[in-house]
Structure 1
Amino acid sequence: MFDHQCTACEKRQLIFTSQVTSLTNTDHGIVVAFTCWCGAAQTLVTGSKATSTSKVTLAA
């Protein structure tokens, strides 16, 4: 699970693995596609090549 601020509803919520729809390796990092609790499709780029100013917390 990880936390994410939705661009549609603007709420910061925990995203669970059941909400993840795909993981794609790219030159910029790993693109995680998922569905927010509000139903909006969202993406997050993570990994060592990701450039982000927000802190992401991952848990097993």
Structure 2
Amino acid sequence: MFTHHCTACNRRQLILPSQVTRLDNTHRGIDVTFTCWCGSEQSLLTGRAAQQPRATLVA
């Protein structure tokens, strides 16, 4: 389970495993596709590779 802010209904929803329709491992991270409670297909990029690298300053 995870929460997601839906772009269609503009609500923060709890997404259950039964709503997940697809998982894809990519070089950018894990792409999770699911159906919101409102019926809209949504996606979320997650995983270690999805984290934005922090800028390193060299003095």
User: TM-score, normalized by length of structure 2?
Assistant: 0.84
Distance in 1 between the 2:46 and 2:15 partners?
14
User: Which residues of structure 1 form unaligned runs of 5+?
Assistant: 53-60
Residue 51 of structure 1 and its aligned partner are, at CA, apart by 3.7
Relative contact order, higher structure (CA 8 A, sep 6+): 1
Cα distance between partner residues in 2 of 1:49 and 1:7: 23
% identical equivalent positions: 62
CA RMSD, 1 decimal: 1.1
Q: Which residue of 2 aligns with 1:13?
A: 13
Aligned to 1:4: 4
Q: Which stretches of structure 1, 4 residues or longer, exceed 2 Å deviation after superposition?
A: none
Q: TM-score, normalised by structure 1?
A: 0.83
Q: Which has the larger radius of gyration?
A: 2
In the other structure, the counterpart of 1:42 is 42
Unaligned runs of 5+ in 2: 53-59
Query: How many residues are matched?
Result: 52
